[in-house]
Amino acid sequence: MARPGLPKKYAKMGFKRGWRAFKAAKRKRSSPKRRTPRRANNPKRRSMARRKMAVPHPSVTGMAAGFSILDELNKGDVIGDIVNGNIGGRTGALTNLTVNSQNLIKTPEGRKTLLQAVGIAALGAFARKSLPGTKLGGNRFYFRP
């Protein structure tokens, strides 16, 4: 076990000067720091972020759920009104969008659409969780390598 306190060489200098000289010598001893980090020994190993960037993950069920809600909100051609520049006013896109979003919650058809969207999204999440090696993409059903 190392003895506490200054080494004899620095203790002779006195408390303040000795500690200052000891610390300066200690700083000089330290090896220079690497500017670039070392690479990992295993080049095949990739981080999770890189793997997620490499393969796109389209959620078909999530998109289907979103499109069913979008279809309900677009009644009265809201998107067409926006494209044509008819945004405000009594027959504008914002008015139609407000009415459609209220109908989505108030009417039985709207609630049915919301429940279907939630069901589709939940079914997709369950399928992804229970079959992690399987992927739904476009019109194909395939297995990931």
Q: Which residue has the higher pLDDT, 125 or 112?
A: 112
Report the percentage of the chain scoring pLDDT > 90.
3
- 3-state DSSP assignment of residue 20: helix
Reply yes or no on whether the pLDDT at 19 is more than 80: yes
The amino acid sitting at 133 is G
* Average pLDDT value for the chain: 77
* Strand ranges in the chain using DSSP code E only, listed in sequence order: 134-137, 140-143
Q: Are 117 and 70 in contact (CB under 8 A)?
A: no
* Strand ranges in 30-76 using DSSP code E only, listed in sequence order: none
Tell which phi-psi region holds residue 132, choosing left (phi > 0), alpha (psi between -120 and 50) or beta.
alpha
Tens of pLDDT, residue by residue over 21-31, are 998 988 877 66
Angle at 63 between CA 57 and CA 66, to 5 degrees: 145
